[in-house]
């Protein structure tokens, strides 16, 4: 969290809005949250000047990219029939562009222009440097992982992994049945079986994810198709019915990539 200065500037009168000037002491993502007391129906607005153009307003939390030493103006106003009352406004300034994922940020690439994260620290979920010419995406709203289902070109398991790596991720590690169910619309939209990141190359019968995520399912049992895994085949695919199968790694087919948000997670306080 970054330092900033704020003070009451103007407002009041017949329309009892209070306007504060906020001067960030560093560039980052500013959030303002209003906590109202009693029956007061208050809300926040950001302005570019004291009485200038409204940038955004909310009944709870505002977020805005701000620049060091460039003032921003915040108004606290009230709705009828309870336009006046007590409130608390909490300000936080997060260092979007410092490489650390903080507060409301989805990602933070340190300002490197990675193509995976916007300059307001939200995830870019697109084809990037993948060789795909036909694909579909899903952005998880909680984890902010980006998934890319590639329909064209068909690829062997190692070719698919290489393309996912060029894209900035890896073949998908579907570690839970909940994750599989979430991605079912992507998987069901294919005419092929789909490569994912499971394999038992290192030890036959002991499966792992290429990402290093643990191979954990309820009762330690993955949702294998009937009579699978059959052995002798080292790479994992997923069927349209969301069941897993081990397959020969040289088969060419669709594949599913997964990319976590770029940036280092913030250290817990």
Same domain, 146 and 253: yes
Q: Does 144 share its domain with 241? A: yes
The per-residue pLDDT for range 138-175, each reduced to its tens digit, is 999 999 999 999 999 999 999 999 999 999 999 999 99
Query: pLDDT tens, 183-237?
Result: 999 998 888 999 999 999 988 889 999 999 988 887 668 899 999 998 789 999 9
Token pair of 269, please?
Answer: 């306080």
Same domain, 191 and 76: no
Specify if 121 maps to a domain: no
Residues of the domain holding 10 = 4-101
Q: Is there a single domain that holds both residue 96 and residue 145?
A: no
Q: How far apart are CA 14 and CA 12, in angstroms?
A: 7
Contact indicator for 160, 123 with CB cutoff of 8 Å: no
Same domain, 35 and 152: no
Q: Does one domain contain both 138 and 250?
A: yes
Q: How many domains does the chain have?
A: 2
The pTM of the full predicted model, rounded to 2 decimals, is: 0.81
96 and 196 within one domain: no
Q: Judge whether 198 and 236 are in contact, CB under 8 Å.
A: yes
User: CA 82, CA 36: separation in Å to the nearest integer?
Assistant: 11
- Mean pLDDT in the chain? 89
Residue 110 domain flag = no
Classify residue 181: in a domain, yes or no. Answer: yes
Which two structure tokens, joined as six digits, stand for 119? 């300059």
Please check whether residue 56 is in contact with residue 16, taking contact to mean a CB–CB distance below 8 angstroms: no
- Of 59-63, 77-81, 117-121, 249-253, give the range with the top mean pLDDT: 249-253
Does residue 107 belong to any structural domain of this protein?
A: no
Q: What is the CATH number of the domain that holds 174?
A: 3.10.100.10
């Amino acid at each position: 969290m970054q330092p900033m200065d704020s003070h009451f500037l103007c407002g009041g009168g017949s329309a009892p809005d209070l306007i504060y000037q906020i001067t960030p002491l560093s560039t980052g993502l500013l959030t303002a949250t209003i906590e109202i007391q009693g029956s007061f129906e208050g809300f926040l607005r950001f302005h570019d000047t004291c009485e200038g153009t409204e940038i955004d307003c909310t009944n709870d939390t505002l977020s805005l990219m701000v620049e060091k030493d460039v003032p921003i103006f915040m108004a606290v106003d009230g709705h009828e029939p309870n336009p006046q009352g007590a409130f608390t406004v909490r300000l936080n300034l997060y260092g979007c562009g410092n490489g650390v994922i903080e507060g409301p940020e989805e990602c933070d690439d340190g300002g490197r222009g990675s193509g995976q994260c916007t300059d307001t620290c939200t995830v870019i979920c697109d084809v990037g440097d993948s060789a795909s010419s036909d694909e579909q995406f899903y952005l998880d709203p909680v984890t902010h992982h980006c998934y890319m289902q590639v329909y064209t070109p068909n690829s062997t398991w190692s070719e698919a992994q290489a393309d996912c790596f060029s894209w900035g991720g890896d073949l998908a590690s579907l570690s839970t049945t909940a994750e599989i169910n979430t991605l079912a619309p992507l998987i069901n939209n294919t005419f092929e079986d789909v490569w994912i990141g499971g394999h038992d190359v290192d030890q036959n019968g002991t499966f792992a994810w290429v990402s290093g995520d643990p191979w954990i399912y309820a009762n330690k049992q993955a949702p294998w198709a009937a009579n699978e895994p059959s052995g002798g085949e080292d790479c994992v695919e997923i069927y349209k019915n969301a069941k897993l199968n081990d397959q020969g790694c040289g088969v060419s087919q669709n594949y599913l990539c997964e990319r976590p948000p770029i940036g280092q997670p913030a250290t817990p306080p």
